[in-house]
Chain A
Amino acid sequence: MTPALEIRGLKKTYKNGFEALKGIDLEVAPGSFFALLGPNGAGKSTTIGIITSLINKTAGTVKVFGHDLDTDLQAVKRSIGLVPQEFNFNNFEPIGEIVVNQAGYYGIPRREAWERCEHYLKELGLWEKRKDMARTLSGGMKRRLMIARALVHEPRLLILDEPTAGVDIELRRSMWDFLTRINTDGRSIILTTHYLEEAETLCRNIAIIDDGAIIENTTMKQLLAKLETETMVLDLSEPPPGIPEDSPIALRQVDEMTLEADIRSGQHLNDLFRVLDQAGIRVQSMRNKANRLEELFIRMTRPGQSPSHLTPGAGGTSEQPENQA
């Protein structure tokens, strides 16, 4: 089956000599929900910029559903919908017109464009605002407007560059539902995000880019399986009678009502439950100490540093605004 995206030996060197991409290879299967992760300045946005022809590449090939960027640019452009990281619409235009005009750029007649506009603005809860100027929208509404605009020409590949940055939790969840639905309908999606929980929740495939090179490209499942140790935080319903010292699972007491348990690769939660049961420890609730993907991400991109060194919010709740680009 023709890949949704096929990149070979992609290089980008800017005029100032900065080598943003050092010859990356990447393949995205059709219909997949693909995460492209990397620290700031790793090359994510440059890659997306080249795919969407906003940035000129230095070397390499890019194919979208088999259409070559160099020889069949128009077909490539028709196949892609882009939701960029920064707001890039005219703030002084009504939002309905922004979406309809975008359809017009793809040759879609005005009446049909309005029908599509209505469909997507309704899906994204913006139809009632269609006559409002874009500048009057909230940050979350602006993000949704860019999604509607990117979908109005029905692209087969949707590229989202940090679509939920600065969006509140409730809205983020509803955007996740919407994106999952359109992916289930067959649209391929590439997502970059700083919220690793988002990537872990939505994406089946993942590539990690760092310093202009792809350092991992696999399925989410296989990647998470590489995690050697997971630390679980146990909130107790009563102080523990004692901490077993010879347990196969390392337990340590954080405070009177909290324990931490290290589960190594190959061990199961059932092993932990057995240990807890035998020791008479009663657990109220349990959670991962750090987002699993976050743990791996930091290890791969910043060897020797723990997530807490880099992301103060690490601990499964990646809602902190410091991650906004």
Chain B
Amino acid sequence: MSASHLRDYWTAFRTIVSKEVLRFARIWVQTVLPPVITTALYFIIFGGLIGERIGDMEGYRYMDFIVPGLIMLAVITNSYANVVSSFFGSKFQRHIEELLVSPIPNSVIILGFVFGGVARGLAVGVAVLLVSLFFSPLSIHNPGVMLIIVLMTSILFALAGLINGVFARTFDDIAIVPTFILTPLTYLGGVFYSISLLPEFWQGVSMLNPILYMVDAFRYGSLGHSDFPIAMSFAIIAGFIAVMYGIALVLLNRGVGIRS
């Protein structure tokens, strides 16, 4: 691949990412504000009102314990939502054809959409973090782990959103996965509790949930507490990213859902 090709791809990548960022920024009342309000309610109700009665969780104030999980919840759902709605919207309005007729490799299209999703995930994550400061002091145990985990998580769910967008034929299809898969996995992924509270059998079942490792590793970066080794969490997330990227690339190369 020549240098001029790489330059062209870089320009194309930047174009897709900036278009995606502008898209969600233009409609920030629909994209950024709602998750911030929802999470603030979680802080008030679960962290404040109920959390006071729960007491400590793994040696931390309940409010402090749930902050990392709620940040991850916001990052996961928004990375996913951004890509699935944008990609399906571009299919629905047919402006995906703008990309398909241009000489951009499918890998660059994937990366463009994914980093658009990462941008929204991070934007909402930071907003939620700022809101959390009203309820809980900023706690950073390992900023590197926090940053890498949040990046990897948003990449993974942006990829998942893209795959959902490829297969979706109706607006209902883009709601099915978040409603029936993503939300249950997130709520059962240790956002509100430590896995050690569960009976042994359900601990085993929970370990099949990839979101558990993301929340756990992020909580380690924030509070210094984790139920699993960090290296294992990194490896699991990286493995999922590789698989999701491979699936997305195969789907676009075959033109599934986008070419006749």
B95 A90 Cβ-Cβ under 8 A: yes
CA separation between A153 and B90, bound complex, in Å?
21
Contacts of A77 in B (CB 8 A): 101-103
| Cross-chain pair count, CB within 8 angstroms | 84
CA separation between A90 and B94, bound complex, in Å?
8
- With contacts A88-B97, A107-B7, A107-B11 known, is A102 near B102, CB below 8 A? yes
B259 A56 Cβ-Cβ under 8 A: yes
CA separation between A84 and B93, bound complex, in Å?
13
By size class, the interface of chain B is: 20 to 34
B260 A102 Cβ-Cβ under 8 A: no
Q: Does A55 contact B (CB under 8 A)?
A: yes
For A, the interface residue count at a CB cutoff of 8 angstroms equals 36
Given A97-B19, A107-B9; 4 other pairs, CB 8 A cutoff = A55-B260, A89-B95, A90-B95, A93-B19
CA separation between A132 and B159, bound complex, in Å?
32
Contacts of B98 in A (CB 8 A): 88-89, 98, 101-102, 105, 149
- With contacts A104-B11, A106-B103 known, is A56 near B95, CB below 8 A? no
Q: Does A272 contact B (CB under 8 A)?
A: no
Question: What 0/1 readout, one digit per residue, does chain A (93-124) give for beta carbons within 8 Å of chain B?
Answer: 10001100110111111100000000000000
Q: Considering only CB atoms, which chain B residue lies closest to A78 in the complex?
A: B103
* Residues of A52-92 contacting chain B, CB below 8 A: 52-56, 73-75, 77-78, 80, 82, 84, 86-92
- With contacts A53-B101, A101-B98 known, is A90 near B93, CB below 8 A? yes
CA separation between A87 and B94, bound complex, in Å?
8
- List residues of A whose CB falls within 8 A of some B CB: 14, 49, 52-56, 73-75, 77-78, 80, 82, 84, 86-93, 97-98, 101-102, 104-110, 149, 153
Q: Does B14 contact A (CB under 8 A)?
A: yes
CB distance from B14 to the nearest CB of A (A): 7
Contacts of B22 in A (CB 8 A): 97
Main SS at interface, chain A: loop
CB distance from B129 to the nearest CB of A (A): 29
CA separation between A73 and B253, bound complex, in Å?
13
State the 6 A-B residue pairs at the shortest beta-carbon distance, nearest first: A107-B8, A104-B15, A105-B102, A88-B94, A74-B103, A77-B103
CB distance from A187 to the nearest CB of B (A): 17
CB distance from A265 to the nearest CB of B (A): 43
CA separation between A166 and B112, bound complex, in Å?
35
Contacts of A93 in B (CB 8 A): 19, 23
B11 A109 Cβ-Cβ under 8 A: yes
A108 B93 Cβ-Cβ under 8 A: no
- With contacts A14-B260, A78-B103, A80-B101 known, is A56 near B12, CB below 8 A? no
